Structure 1
Amino acid sequence: MTDWLAAAESQKQNYLEDLMALMRIKSVRDDSAATDEYPLGPGPSQALAAFLEMAEQDGFRTKNIDNVVGYAEWGEGDETLAILAHLDVMPAGKGWDTDPFEPVIKDGNLYGRGASDDKGPGMAAYYALKYLKDQGVAFNKRVRFIVGTDEESDWTGMHRYFEVEPAPTLGFSPDAEFPVINGEKGQVSLKLSVPATNGEDYVLKSFHSGLRFNMVPREAVAEVVVPDAGQVQAAFEQFVDENPIQGEAEPTADGLKLTVIGKAAHGMEPEQGINAGTYLATFLDQYDFAAGAKSFIHFLAKYLHLDTRMKGFDGAYTDPVMGELTMNAGILNFDAENGGDIDMNFRFPKGIGPDELEATVKKVADPLGIAVKQGPSQKPHYVDPSDPIVKTLMDAYIHQSGDKDAKPEVVGGGTYGRLMERGVAFGALMPQTPNTMHQANEYQPVDDLIRSMAIYMEAINNLVTD
């Protein structure tokens, strides 16, 4: 029997070199720099080109589709096994101890944007496939390693792939955690719009918090005009001392600039973060702001602060199989000229849908003069645990990890796996490793990445030789 861990260890040096080269590419979607050549900005397309060039040199058949998605292919057969990863990464944000785009290994951990989500795991799966190819394993299926370039936003690339290429028979996405994610909640975002109106004594000039709808905001900054800046500053400093945040109050020509630092987290588990925006709104809500500014502040403070389950809306919901509905307040902006926008992201199980969520929010928003607009949505996705794709992947994980009690799981994250009827998410976050996706100082233990490569080797081998 093949010692898959030893095989993975033999690939370690080359794997890390190729991975770190990809991590140095700042592959953040940037619509402001989009061109015909770079539809999502230069970074994602450059990462795609670098990956496909590497795969071609490694002997794979490759294809670049519109500079937004591509694949490396090996094997022949009537069935297609797809491995779906992504090369784009979240904005780095602040709070890093190292350069987020200059990966480093410290104390056995690889630090840098993409180490965990998704360049590290994606490249582990790619190296597993490459090893099997190089060893001359006889594939009974066509295998396509497909890489998207905007998984963290609209999935433009992967949707394009499924428009122009045949749908795979089965597959997995190495973009979550072990053991196997056989269920993913549905997703929808609601955009709330607030009028650009203020009172006289208390004026909210600006309020900015959040980078993406699927991140818990780490930082919030507001500029306010207040009658007694000294009193507000003293109250703010006390508020900071009494809460799990950092903060600073700086005098301005006509008021104060208030800054709150919380903790970023993935939007699928917003309870793991500290939402700087809702903390700042909670502080401001005690003062006599008026009109649209008051509605903006009060909505954040009363209905979103410390609530990731819609309890304040009387909208909490749990499905016995897929778990709880979750809510993340991801982007919170207001300025005195243009008004306010609040982007709320929901992960919902079967049994509830986007229209019901919109109606629930509108009951609260309408009386405050806040408009609600529903964005694109994804339905819940579930693959029966008895499906061979689930059983084969579970067997490989259990064999390599020794965790005989492991069971398939349902999560709030959304991966490319849901694009296939028989698609799941599979690794590479180990159960005992902290989840630092979308956070500052994102990392993965190098040993975890190598073990995940061994798991992928065994799993792919069993899938293509059954």
Structure 2
Amino acid sequence: MTNQPIDWKQEAQKRKEEFLEDLFAILRIDSVRDDEQATEDAPVGPGPKEALEAFLKIGERDGFKTENFSNLAGHMEYGEGDEIMGVLAHVDVVPVGTGWETDPFEPVIKDGRIYARGASDDKGPGMAAYYALKIIKDLGLPVSKKVRFILGTDEESEWKGMAHYLSVEKEPDFGFSPDANFPIINGEKGNVSVYLETEGNSEGGKNKLISFQAGLRENMVPQDAVAVFESEEADVFEQAFNDYEESLPVTGTVAVDGNRVTITVVGKSAHGASPASGENAGTYLANFLSGYAFGGDAANFIETAATLLHDDPKGEKLGVASTDEVMGELTMNVGVFSYAEGEGGKISLNFRFPQSTTAEAITETVKEKVSTYNMTVSRNKGKEPHYVPGNDPLVQTLLDVYARQTGLEAHEQVIGGGTYGRLMKRGVAYGAMFPDSIDTMHQANEFMAVDNLMDAMAIYAEAIYELIK
């Protein structure tokens, strides 16, 4: 090795072909969490297990020390030292949904972009970060700390994988997750899901709700919604819905079979941390149905969604809106709707909240608001807001490398999304989306520009080396 400065971008470009080959192999694996096929050997389903094993196999091929933790998580290790740096990525992806123009698990490059589920969240950035560590290893650079490239298998749901990992392995002393935006994400809002439930009595109105379904995950804006009901005035709904949707950013269809009506609405999916960038098919459908007489618990289900949840990504109608100077505004995503006559109904609300409020305060306010509609309220454990100060050496180093390589302004950022970065006290998220990147995470036709991934690889390589040399 010489004392010449390392051209990190050139080192990344040297590995481009091999990088794309490895990335495509991982992208071809359908790694959506699947509890129905979960086994003791595949705790979150066969797809995440297969993706984890495939990624670890790449690490073994390249000479890293690897370990698999019960097919829930794994790591690749490099270097020696008392301090451990963590680079935390995930191999699972959100469900596909509708609207894809290509096979989501057969990656293709069009106009310099890789189209596939996981291209940007998080298989593309994760592989870029892995190759960054590989560059350091290939060059034989001297390091004084240990670095672990850690992979989780259910980041898009319960974080069961990383919970298991941290129960058997030491928390890294510092590090980052390549699962968000540049220049850096050193603050993440709190995250809690609140569940509104009702019983399934649909009697008592001119219209009888049989079922209402919308949404795939709490952290995705529902793109599709379907309601099935019986009506004494079934013939009025087709024209009425056509009039309703005419000036709205959603589309839909109405099918009438005797007195049975099926209405399907198509909106626009988006990441649950940015609900305002999507169009919630579920609340639009409820808003339409609220103009008609439904009975019993079905009426409460519909009216809650239409009156308190529709077109309100800040939670103002529920009375939970909150903001602070560091983290900004609370956001609310109405992620999943489910109602079946005789069985009951449930609506899942996912809140990303700043330090100016708490999960407890949000839940109590929601309880008070929905009591009018006879809805019961529960919540998950949630996650508290996370913040690493801007003057922390970790933050400063990452910002310096970003500014040096891009020539762009480097500044602090806070997001509503939750990343593995928050699992470390001194943990942040770092790329791989650039300021001019188009964010298609959790959407149909998800993509990531190849050039962005190569640039991220170079930034990651220099950043990791600066932090462990």
1:15 pairs, out of 16, 19, 36, with 19
Corresponding residue for residue 457 of structure 1: 461
Residue 351 of structure 2 corresponds to which residue in structure 1? Answer: 346
* Distance in 1 of aligned mates of 2:272 and 2:191: 11
Are 1:358 and 2:399 matched, yes or no?
no
- Tell me what 1:207 maps to: 212
Pick which of 268-277 and 200-209 moved more. 200-209
2: CA distance between counterparts of 1:360 and 1:310?
11
Q: Please report the RMSD computed on the Cα atoms of aligned residues, expressed in angstroms.
A: 0.8
Q: Determine the C-alpha separation between the residues in 2 that align with 1:303 and 1:431.
A: 34
Query: Secondary structure in 2 aligned to 1:22?
Result: helix
Q: 2:299 matched to 1:270?
A: no
Q: Determine which of 302, 313, 319 is the counterpart of 2:318.
A: 313
131-140 vs 143-152, which moves further:
131-140
- Matched residue, 2:59: 55
Q: Of the candidates 132, 142, 147, which is equivalent to residue 146 of structure 2?
A: 142
The CA deviation string for residues 350-386 of structure 1, in whole angstroms up to 9 with x for no partner, is 1211111011111121121100001121010000111
Say how many residue pairs are matched.
464
TM-score, normalised by the number of residues in structure 1: 0.98
Displacement of 1:200: 4.3
Q: Does 1:125 align with 2:129?
A: yes
Query: Alpha-carbon deviation of 1:256?
Result: 1.0
- List runs of 5+ in structure 1 lacking aligned partners: none
SS in 2 for 1:312: coil
Cα distance in 1 for partners of 2:244, 2:20 equals 45
Q: CA deviation at 1:254?
A: 2.7
CA contact (8 A) 2:187 2:386 kept: yes
Alignment match, 1:30: 34
From 366, 370, 374, give the equivalent of 2:375: 370
Q: What is the deviation of 1:337?
A: 2.0
Q: CA deviation digits over 1:24-72, x for unaligned, max 9?
A: 0000100000111111110000111111111001100000001100000
Q: Which residue of 1 aligns with 2:303?
A: 298
Determine whether 1:230 maps to 2:235. Answer: yes
Equivalence for 2:166: 162
Between the aligned residues of both structures, percent identity stands at 51
Answer with 261-270 or 249-258: which moved more.
249-258
Partner residue, 2:445: 441
Q: Which residues of 2 match residues 79-94 of structure 1 at below 5 A?
A: 79-94=83-98
C-alpha distance after superposition, 1:149-190 (max 9, x if no partner): 000000011011111111211000000111110000011101
* Counterpart position of 1:69: 73
The secondary structure found in structure 2 opposite 1:77 is coil
Cα offset, 1:252, TM superposition: 2.5
**Where in structure 2 are there 5+ consecutive unaligned residues?**
none
Aligned counterparts of 1:336 and 1:248: Cα–Cα separation in 2 = 22
Give per-residue Cα distances to partners, 1:396-443, cap 9 Å, x unaligned: 11111110x221101101001101010000000111111110000000
Aligned letter for 2:444?
A
Q: Distance in 2 between matches of 1:190 and 1:333?
A: 14
- Cα offset, 1:253, TM superposition: 4.0
1:252 and 1:348 map into 2 onto residues whose CA distance is: 45
Report the equivalent of 2:338: 333
Name the SS of the counterpart of 1:166 in structure 2: coil
2:456 alignment partner AA: S
Q: Secondary structure at the match of 1:208?
A: strand
Give the structure 2 partner of residue 115 of structure 1: 119
The question of whether the paired residues in 1 share the 8 Å contact of 2:309 and 2:318 is answered with no
- Structure 2 Cα separation of the partners of residues 200 and 326 of structure 1: 34
Establish whether residue 423 from structure 1 lines up as the match of residue 427 from structure 2.
yes
SS in 2 for 1:360: helix
Structure 1 CA distance for aligned equivalents of residues 93 and 407 of structure 2? 32
1:355 partner SS: helix
Distance in 1 between residues matched to 2:342 and 2:134, nearest whole Å: 55
Distance (Å, rounded) in 2 between the aligned partners of 1:229 and 1:242: 23
CA shift, 1:237, in A, is: 1.2
1:260-311 Cα shifts (integer Å, max 9, x gaps)? 0000000001001000000000000000112111111111111111101111
SS of 1:421's equivalent in the other structure is coil
**Which residue identity lines up with residue 86 of structure 2 in the other structure?**
A
SS at match of 1:376: coil
The one-letter code sitting in structure 1 at the alignment partner of 2:466 is: N
**Separation in structure 2 between the aligned mates of residue 444 and residue 302 of structure 1, nearest angstrom:** 38
1:242 deviates by 1.9
Quote the Cα distance in structure 2 between the aligned partners of 1:11 and 1:177: 23
Which one-letter code corresponds to 1:49 in the other structure? E
State the distance in 2 between where 1:125 and 1:253 align.
58
**Runs of 4+ off more than 3 Å:** none
